[in-house]
Amino acid sequence: MKILIVDDSDTSRMLLETMLRNAGYDDLIMACCAREALTILGIEGDDETSEPDLILMDIVMPDLSGIETTMLIKSEERFKDIPVIMVTVKESENSLEEAFEAGAIDFINKPVTKTELGARVRSVLKLKKETDRRKARERELEELTRKLEKLSNLDGLTGVANRRSFDDFFEEEWLRGLRSQTPISLLMIDIDHFKLFNDTYGHMQGDVCLKRVAGAINKAIKRPGDFVARYGGEEFVAILPDTSLEGACHIADLIMDYVEELKIEHEKSTTNDFITVSIGVSSITPHRSISRDTLINTADSALYRAKEAGRGRILCENVASDTNNTPS
């Protein structure tokens, strides 16, 4: 493990180095003063070395004392867990109290003996290893928690977001739209005659169909801020922040094209020989007098009428105005 020795005395540094090397510690860094130590650690200057596992710090040094230097080191977040052992000829309680308040973990009196140095260094490095292992486990747990949280927000079959994730995202974007007074559009997308498809080809092929359609929708929804979720069964929903009705209808056209390109055979469909989708599109600039459910209900109503009109088509409707209620 790496040990940094900070002492303005050449004799003291050499003695500490010799004792530690004889005890089997080979990765040693020497600093003849506080400023050199701060430079080695990257606190001063432009260069930054790897972190030591332990610092042996002389208390009495010119320019900056060991206590002042320790306070500077401990003020850096990356060095908060690096143990510092004070090496001093001072034995007064005030000096030791100041050293511990500065962040030191232990002290050794000069003249240093091999036995005391070895025992204290071994003890502190053992504690450091245990601290490092604990932090590593905590990081692993945090990463696992993030992965589980991400999985809990995904639909297990299609890999897009699930209904719960949609509800959370929609609420956030609605509030953002209220603050910025920018439009938000929503697409309700339904696979046409999907029950017939399942009855004809089986549920395994139905699952494959859902995955491929979800991929086609994702292909059309390209902006990082846009959002796709499985709404339920064979129905998907897309949220397009900062998007007008015209822009949302363009995205709906892309989805229709990409689904058509899949060429998923559906011989029992009354709409086409291949899988198609119907899409209801709605758009609004959020207002406090309007519930966000209005946007969902309008898109759902547009989807229903698109299906009633023969399926395999898009119907767009602006919540604020019915003048855009035109099928395409």
pLDDT band at 93 (very low <50, low <70, confident <90, very high): low
Mean per-residue pLDDT of the chain = 90
What pLDDT score was predicted for residue 324? 40
* Confidence check: pLDDT of 92 > 70: no
Across 157-170, average pLDDT: 93
**pLDDT, mean of residues 66-75:** 94
Report the distance separating Cα 15 and Cα 114, nearest Å.
Answer: 10
pLDDT of residue 320: 55
pLDDT for 148 equals 75
- CA 60 to CA 57: how far, in whole Å? 9
Quick check: is 143 catalytic?
no
pLDDT tens-digit readout, 170-196: 999 999 999 999 999 999 999 999 999
Q: What does the pLDDT read at residue 174?
A: 95
pLDDT of residue 50: 66
According to DSSP, residue 273 is labeled: S
**Which domains does the chain carry?**
3-146 (3.40.50.2300), 163-327 (3.30.70.270)
Q: Please give the structure tokens belonging to residue 310.
A: 């023969």
Judged by phi (left if over 0) then psi (alpha if -120 to 50, else beta), residue 190 lies in: beta
What pLDDT score was predicted for residue 143?
84
Q: What is the pTM of this model?
A: 0.59
Q: What is the pLDDT of residue 90?
A: 65
DSSP label at 212?
A: H
**Model confidence at 146: pLDDT above 80:** no
Mean pLDDT computed over 223-245 = 94
Confidence of residue 321 (pLDDT cuts 50, 70, 90): very low
* Cα–Cα distance for residue pair 185/227, rounded to 1 Å: 11
The rounded distance, in Å, linking the Cα atoms of 240 and 263 is 26
Average pLDDT of span 49-57 = 88
Question: Which of 17, 173, 234, 317 is labelled catalytic?
Answer: 234
pLDDT beyond 80 at 35? yes
Q: State which amino acid sits at residue 186.
A: L
From residue 292, alpha-carbon distances to 34, 177, 203, 211, 284 in Å are: 61, 11, 34, 28, 9
Preceding omega of 111 cis (within 30 degrees of 0): yes
